[in-house]
Structure 1
């Protein structure tokens, strides 16, 4: 099971540690945070105890309104489940958190604090945890972002994936990852493509070697991640194959049970492969808007035939 540690959360959001300094190694394996509410009134049937617990102004104000004995009882019932950590938002004053600090120190649970509002921090934390804990695989290929559309370029070694990516970069598009592309499944319908850290900003070109696209072409030539919406396979041209279909049968590639539209582009000397990738990306976007060039073409043919029939004597 994938996990990060409380220390990773502290580092990512620059959280202040109020209690549990020695327990920052505790694992976080759930991708969403939780605001305890019903738990403070004793209902624990569906308490997600493995999630980070967030205490905003609403929760802290409620606890302050209880008697000391009742407050200790209510927070004690939550603490006894030993969640990974608690995060207090809005930089709420430590003086009003003494009882919470005492409980966390006694149970050895990290208590953290952020100046962010509750809604803002929950949004940021959920996004971060979802990406960090998402199932992932690594595939051989190149990941690029073409006019806002994430594309995975695949094919055999030496077929021209990196060279195609270089041409796309020179045309104003962006590199995400070369050679080792990390795919993350962040929800049942979405795959994110990113790099593995070691190859960040690097593009490997045969006969040239490694180049840093951000240093050569500027920061706009690279981005950290992109949603993969097209899987394009580059293949060698075969003389006996038919390549003039008016409407290509929809095909899909599956990554971690997520289907991604698949297109095959055959390479031949003189073909503008980067231009074909751009066309495929733009055509996918138009189909997403409900437009099909093949359908419009067939409608024109049908209209022309009907017009000819109407003019027959």
Structure 2
């Protein structure tokens, strides 16, 4: 199971550590934060104790208004479950009683200046990506007109060279050679780099280039949702390459289905242009338009 540590959150969001400084190596394994509400009144049947607990103005104001005895009871009921950490938002103060319990139970107590809504939105997005199941795939990931594409094919087939042509046409590189795929949901794959290959593109006969330095920041982006899987293959003369009887094909990565297209290579063929056409055609299909359906309708009307 993937995990991050509380110290990762401290660095990512520049959080202030109020208590439990020696426990920042505690592991976080569940995405999405939790705001304890019912737990303060003693209802724990569905308490997600493995999640980060966020205390906003509503929760802290409620605790402030309790008697010391009530407060000790409510906080004690929660800390005994040892969640990974507590994060107080909006730079709220008067937290000595909370610090006492967190120190006793060795649970990190953190604080941010951000509002509760804004912080939870950013925290959930970060946790979802950081804890998402992932695999590494040999290929190239590009963003073409806002559409994420995974280019695959045998070594030397021309994936990186094709990506370079797309970059020259104003599109963006995400990762070359090794693409990291993260499963964000049953229908969503995110393509990104592995940090080591960030911004780098390897071109045969040329060597390694940094696309951001060569073509500017617009030539690169950190991640993209994968919408198309395109495999580059050698031209096969004995095959009938007639796409009028085209049926959508898919491939699966971590049980997520992605539309798949095979583009056969031949000298003089504008592969980058075909990829642009495939991306734009995919977008039109998402809008409900199919060129094939319109074509068949025209044939039926002529009969």
Q: TM class by shorter-chain length?
A: over 0.9
TM-score by length of 2: 0.99
Following superposition of structure 1 onto structure 2, how do residues 102-141 of structure 1 map, counting pairs within 5 Å?
102-141=100-139
Match of 2:38 in 1: 38
Following superposition of structure 1 onto structure 2, how do residues 47-58 of structure 1 map, counting pairs within 5 Å?
47-58=47-58
TM-score by length of 1: 0.96
Structure 1: distance between partners of 2:291 and 2:2: 44
Greater Rg, structure 1 or structure 2? 1
Following superposition of structure 1 onto structure 2, how do residues 89-238 of structure 1 map, counting pairs within 5 Å?
89-93=89-93, 96-238=94-236
Per-residue deviation at 1:248? 1.2
Following superposition of structure 1 onto structure 2, how do residues 238-277 of structure 1 map, counting pairs within 5 Å?
238-277=236-275
Structure 1: distance between partners of 2:269 and 2:242: 14
Per-residue deviation at 1:298? 1.1
Per-residue deviation at 1:300? 1.1
| RMSD over aligned Cα atoms | 0.6
CA deviation map 1:16-62 (0-9, x unaligned): 00000100000011011000001001011110001000000000111
Per-residue deviation at 1:160? 0.5
Q: What SS does structure 1 have at the residue aligned with 2:34?
A: coil
In structure 1, list runs of 5 or more residues that go unmatched.
306-313
Following superposition of structure 1 onto structure 2, how do residues 285-296 of structure 1 map, counting pairs within 5 Å?
285-296=283-294
In the alignment of these two chains, the number of paired residues is: 303
Per-residue deviation at 1:244? 2.1
In the alignment, structure 1 residue 298 sits paired with structure 2 residue 286: no
Per-residue deviation at 1:302? 1.5
Q: What SS does structure 1 have at the residue aligned with 2:148?
A: strand
In structure 2, list runs of 5 or more residues that go unmatched.
none
Structure 2: distance between partners of 1:49 and 1:244: 57
Runs of 4+ in 1 over 6 A off after TM superposition: none
